[in-house]
Amino acid sequence: MLKIKVQDLNKLFDAISEKEPLYMPLEKAGEANYGLYKTGEKTALDVLKTVKSAKDLFFPQSETIVKFKTEGKNITVEDIREEVKPFVLFGVKACDFKAFEVLDKVFLADPVDTYYQAKRNACTVVTFACRRPEESCFCKVFGIDAANPVGDVTIWKDDENLYWRENTEKGSKLTESVRYLFAEGGEKDVQNQQEETRKIIEKLPFSSLDLSYFENTEMMDIFNRPEWQKLSEACLACGTCTFVCPTCQCFDIREFKASNDQIIRYRCWDSCMYSDFTQMSHGNNRTTQMQRYRQRFMHKLVYYPENNGGLFSCVGCGRCVNKCPQKLNIVKVVKTLGGKKDD
């Protein structure tokens, strides 16, 4: 275990960014999101939840995938992929790191998404243990220990020090490059913080959510529950829940004419909550908001686990709890269908 004084953290960030691009929570326009660190940036490491999750570094909100050059009736395809240089992703909470596992099973399954794969392989992930989780957090329900996240490196922080533990070969390489900034020690401080954090987690209102109904009930029985109609009635179809979710992976592929002889094809995040989601010439097979609402939560709680060894497509980060304007989040679905009344 290593430690560094809090007042020296900018030295650490500068040292990392001098060798490799460093992405971490930064404050811009009063909000915290992951961005490229540069000396003098206003960091937001102590913010519990960034607005968007860290998945943006591997699966960007918008990403060019190919370009076409046109000359009369001739079309030339330009492969725009380049080697992704190593970079560091710093400050990832345990829930967001667990979300990478969910995304990996989608993008790294055959056929492999090479755009996603290249960025995952190039990245060294530094996870950040939670110290004071809030009422909307429920990662414990999904077997996540917010006090001891995994990753290439794990860090903890209190008012005086940041504590550092390398976990993998990538983590050891990063540690070696900044070792001169650290002193030895901190094990007892970390243990004490972990104990306090776990005590907080046990008292959070959603930490005892029961998922057994979704694990032990036939898919069509859940699908046909009449409660879906009432649950979805107030949904605005704004898509906020999908855009802040660290595990949502739906995207659309579009094209635009960049110039008289060039067309760019790109992909961008999409939402199953939208009426035109997957719409083709024949229309859309989910014609009501109830059907779209049900699709979102059936995928999180039923479809994805059935196809991935019981792994839920939710990590309990609580972003949807905080952001849904109508409070129609996954917690409400679990409580309603699982037979428990809302608090």
Task: Tell whether omega for the bond before 226 is within 30 degrees of 0, i.e. cis.
Answer: no
- pLDDT confidence tier of residue 343, bands split at 50, 70 and 90: very low
Q: Is the pLDDT of residue 341 over 50?
A: no
pTM: 0.92
- pLDDT confidence tier of residue 136, bands split at 50, 70 and 90: very high
Report pLDDT for 296. 92
Report pLDDT for 275. 74
Q: CA 57, CA 120: separation in Å to the nearest integer?
A: 9
Report pLDDT for 282. 61
Please answer whether residues 65 and 267 qualify as being in contact, where contact means their C-beta atoms are separated by less than 8 angstroms. Answer: yes
Per the structure block, which two tokens stand in for 100? 């990478």
Report pLDDT for 144. 97
Tell me the CA distances in angstroms from 123 to 176, 271, 299, 315, one per residue in order.
16, 27, 28, 21
Per the structure block, which two tokens stand in for 218? 């036939």
Mean pLDDT of 220-230: 96
Parse the chain into domains and list their residue ranges. 2-52+83-203, 212-249+272-337
Mean pLDDT of 127-133: 97
User: pLDDT tens for residues 52-108?
Assistant: 999 999 999 999 999 999 888 898 998 888 899 999 999 999 999 999 999 999 999
Report pLDDT for 342. 43
Give the total residue count for the chain: 343
Q: Is the pLDDT of residue 199 over 90?
A: yes
Positive or negative, the CA dihedral 151, 152, 154, 155 is negative
Share of the chain above pLDDT 90, in %: 84
Q: CA 169, CA 303: separation in Å to the nearest integer?
A: 35
Phi/psi for 83 (5° steps) reads -65, 130
Task: Tell whether omega for the bond before 111 is within 30 degrees of 0, i.e. cis.
Answer: yes
Q: Is the pLDDT of residue 222 over 90?
A: yes
Share of the chain above pLDDT 70, in %: 96
Write the DSSP string, 255-273. Answer: EEEEETTEEEEEEEE--TT
To 5 degrees, how large is the angle CA 276–CA 106–CA 311? 105
Q: Is the pLDDT of residue 331 over 80?
A: yes
User: pLDDT tens for residues 273-326?
Assistant: 887 776 665 655 677 889 999 999 999 999 999 999 999 999 999 999 999 999
Q: CA 108, CA 308: separation in Å to the nearest integer?
A: 13
- pLDDT confidence tier of residue 35, bands split at 50, 70 and 90: very high
Q: CA 197, CA 58: separation in Å to the nearest integer?
A: 29
Average pLDDT, the chain: 93
Q: Is the pLDDT of residue 220 over 60?
A: yes
